[in-house]
A and B are shown apart, each in its own frame.
Chain A
């Protein structure tokens, strides 16, 4: 199973796009994955698993990694509108939209505005909604090691990730990602107080996947999304932190795929 990477102009901005390359992938339903604040510079096993069943698109957001940083990028709302433009430009239909963390917030904001090109929505450990009294760690105050340790539940995995050699280029990408994330989420810190008012507008099948040990956006935030999006269903992963696509890649990919396939199958039946 492989993937291709290209830098291309999409909806007016030069971005880096990764795609799964399974034969006849064009015939498969499209799954658009919106990454979190850490970026998407690497093709992950989680993506590989999804690429077996879907025409998987993983763009690197404007402002992240090797993508350009346009002047207009100031809020998560801007990213949401950008991806609406992308869906139109690529003329995609019945898309399974999946977003993690910052990408989850973006996906929710997009779906609030317009679901017409979407078949389903999956939010994984999504930012965007605040619940009063729920304590969240501040990863702008910690150093890189402290931040990573706060994200991941299993500290042995954190040790592994911290021990990995990081190239100068990758370090610079991470720095760029951090700068862009700060620009987008600094205040209010990682949420939009107006988003909850309009989540009821998401009228497509929605599932929510959360690590039960997520300290950045604790499961209580997933419950709030569940309460506010009609018919949404929350699944908790046990002993998982904020990075389900990395911490529990197989399980997370299976949940995403099963849900999307059920939706597609349901359409066929109808």
Chain B
């Protein structure tokens, strides 16, 4: 199994009752709660953590993109990936992902990713997402156009990477007289494309058809197994058999000496992430048009934002918290159950402080990698 260290870069030094009082950490959570003296230290701490992940043997480091939220401070993930492309010496650098529909010129993303691919000398992984519903409140992009813009932006970016220019592109949303990318990507034909999703059937099918790596963002392991199986079915329909490398599972791992100690140490930070940083009203998460009308009819309000305990998350296999032995066994079991060969591991989550994060990373490198990393 390959291990990627996935950072959300939350505004971790926040009194989370502030989020509870406001109702959500997203879109309208006042940025008066952001203190640059705190935030600047967090950015540097988190970049240090990802550099450390490289030093202790993680196969890759990951950042992602969200806007106007204390949940994650990475509205422009290319800035962070740019810093890491130089300081991470060995591991791959992944942005999982960049929200394509939110920009008015997807060529900017093609350029940014091509630069990262060149600077990292081919260690870059290009994640493409639509962005969650809240981003459509934050950016003003019409959620009704999200899916069509995603697909057209994808087509434009891949063409810009693979065809020599200049050529003309005339789409529904994007119109370019001259497409002629400088620089071209380092990897041939282009950086690997990964597609993170919460499990939408359309996205799974689309990723499988394009032979892209499918990343499952959140979910109980049994559900995740269903999604990965669906990916394999869709690949089969497209006439090929995918490897387990093409399935990546995103989870949280925390290791301590005993199960009980691990649960107790991780509890407030896991629950802060799940119940505070992620909290948002349905109207914010799913603006009209972000899903089809048909899909929306099947979404029940109680499916969203239900408070969880660390035990309920751990027992359902959304996260893996425990002693080295427990974590090894469960991870190996989950790998066989769901069929994936890449783990996207959050080692920092919610409000978890620096020292605990480092200890957790060390424990994973020392106790888990020797048996499970390949």
Contacts and interface: CB of A to CB of B under 8 A. Distances in A.
B144 A141 contact: no
Given A140-B137, A182-B143, A186-B144, A172 B288 contact: no
Contacts of B141: 187
B289 A141 contact: no
Contacts of B142: 182-183, 186-187
Q: Which of B142, B284, B288, B297 has the most CB of A within 10 A?
A: B288
Nearest to A171: B297
Contacts of A172: 297
Interface in A177-208: 178-179, 181-183, 186-189
B144 A187 contact: no
Given A186-B142, A186-B143, A143 B288 contact: no
Contacts of A189: 140
B144 A179 contact: yes
Given A172-B297, A182-B142, A183-B142, A140 B282 contact: no
A233 interface: no
Interface residues of A, number: 16
B57 interface: no
A143 B289 CA distance: 16
A140 B283 contact: yes
Contacts of B297: 172, 175
Contacts of B288: 140, 175, 178-179, 181-183
Nearest to A182: B288
Interface string B74-107: 0000000000000000000000000000000000
B37 interface: no
A70 interface: no
Contact of B283 (A142, A176, A187): A142
Contacts of B28: 141
B226 interface: no
A187 B146 CA distance: 13
Interface residues of B, number: 19
A67 to B, nearest CB: 14
A14 to B, nearest CB: 17
B281 interface: yes
B296 interface: yes
B293 interface: yes
Given A182-B142, A186-B142, A187-B142, A140 B287 contact: yes
A183 B288 CA distance: 8
Nearest to A183: B144
A191 to B, nearest CB: 13
Contact of A175 (B136, B143, B281, B296): B296
A82 B228 CA distance: 46
Q: Which of A141, A143, A183, A186 has the most CB of B within 10 A?
A: A186
A143 B144 contact: no
Nearest to B291: A179
A176 B296 CA distance: 10
Interface in B167-182: none
Q: Which of B27, B137, B281, B293 has the most CB of A within 10 A?
A: B293
Nearest to A143: B283
A83 to B, nearest CB: 21
Contact of A186 (B140, B282, B284, B293): B140
13 contacts: A140-B283, A141-B283, A142-B283, A143-B283, A176-B293, A179-B289, A179-B293, A182-B143, A182-B287, A186-B140, A186-B144, A186-B287, A187-B142
Q: Which 6 A-B pairs have the closest CB atoms?
A: A182-B288, A183-B144, A187-B140, A186-B142, A179-B288, A178-B288
Given A141-B27, A182-B144, 20 more contacts: A140-B137, A140-B287, A141-B284, A143-B281, A172-B297, A175-B297, A179-B144, A179-B289, A179-B293, A182-B142, A182-B289, A183-B144, A183-B289, A186-B143, A186-B144, A186-B287, A186-B289, A187-B140, A187-B142, A188-B140
